[in-house]
């Protein structure tokens, strides 16, 4: 069985994330969409909220499950019998950063990193841009699922 992980902060999960997870699901037996617990970085959503949005957003993929982790991704891979990490590349600058991480992960554990280029439809998309647009009441309906859009609306309404 080929099991891969699509890690991220998913703050919030975007249609770009879902596209990569879905494409990975078509190529592998099982995909774990894993939310990083980063205590040094305070996000808009809690880890459990991000996990809930990720679960809802990937529910139509039979071979995708969600998880959360903290610490080193390579340890998560070892503990979950993951053979490769799937990462998205939106631009050349993404590649420079991701290559260093991939090489370090391989050095630490031998786990491979598979790069998928972003769908051109989502190559500009990032969670931080979605948060900024939503914060000011902009339309994010083409960038996230309806469920995530509603969660953003509620989150920013409650902050006012």
Residue 83's CATH number: 3.40.50.620
Q: State the binding site for ATP.
A: 9-10, 17, 98, 122-128
Which among 3, 68, 90, 155 is annotated as catalytic? 90
- The pLDDT value given to residue 42: 77
Give me the pLDDT at residue 39, please: 67
- Whether residue 96 contacts residue 62, with contact meaning beta carbons closer than 8 Å, is answered with no
Q: Which residues are annotated as a binding site for substrate?
A: 9, 41, 73, 87
Domain span including residue 23: 3-158
**pTM given for the model:** 0.94
Closest CA to 114 of 123, 125, 124, 105: 105
91 belongs to the catalytic site: no
How many folded domains does the chain comprise?
1
Q: What is the pLDDT of residues 33-58, one digit of tens each?
A: 999 987 667 789 999 999 999 999 99
Q: Does the structure show a pLDDT above 80 at 158?
A: no
Q: What is the pLDDT of residue 93?
A: 86
Most distant pair of Cα atoms in the chain: their distance: 48
Measured at the CA of 97, the angle between CA 93 and CA 99, to 5 degrees, comes to 110
Q: Is the pLDDT of residue 116 over 90?
A: yes
Q: Which alpha helices (DSSP H) does 8-61 contain, by range?
A: 15-27, 47-57
Please tell me which residue in 41, 42, 157, 159 is annotated as part of the active site.
Answer: 41
Rounded mean pLDDT, 22-26: 98
- Among the listed residues 50, 127, 131, 151, the single catalytic one is 127
Catalytic residue status for 90: yes
Residue ranges for the known binding site are 9-10, 17, 41, 73, 87, 98, 122-128
CB-CB contact of 116 with 148 (8 Å): no
Q: Is the pLDDT of residue 61 over 70?
A: yes
Which residue reads 């990032």 in tokens?
126
Distances (CA, A) of 67 to 32, 110, 139: 7, 22, 29
Q: Which two three-digit tokens encode residue 4?
A: 């891969």
Give me the mean pLDDT over the 135-153 stretch.
96
Q: Is the pLDDT of residue 77 over 70?
A: yes
The question of whether 41 is a catalytic residue gets the answer: yes
Q: Is 57 a catalytic residue?
A: no
The two three-digit tokens of residue 117, written as one number = 């280029």
- The answer to whether the beta carbons of residues 135 and 156 sit under 8 Å apart is yes
Chain centroid to CA 149: 16
CB-based contact 41:10 (threshold 8 Å): no
């Amino acid at each position: 069985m080929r099991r891969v992980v699509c890690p991220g902060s998913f703050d919030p999960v975007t249609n770009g994330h879902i596209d990569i997870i879905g494409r990975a699901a078509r190529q592998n037996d099982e995909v774990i969409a894993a939310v990083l617990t980063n205590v040094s970085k305070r996000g808009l959503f809690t880890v459990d909220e991000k996990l809930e949005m990720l679960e809802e957003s990937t529910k139509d993929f039979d071979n995708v499950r969600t998880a959360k982790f903290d610490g080193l991704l390579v340890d998560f891979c070892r503990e979950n019998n993951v053979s490769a990490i799937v990462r998205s590349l939106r631009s050349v600058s993404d590649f420079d950063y991701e290559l260093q991480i991939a090489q370090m992960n391989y050095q630490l554990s031998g786990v491979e990193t598979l790069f998928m280029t972003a769908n051109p439809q989502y190559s500009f998309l990032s969670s931080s841009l979605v948060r900024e647009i939503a914060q000011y009441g902009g339309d994010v309906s083409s960038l996230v699922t309806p469920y995530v859009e509603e969660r953003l609306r509620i989150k920013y309404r409650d902050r006012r």
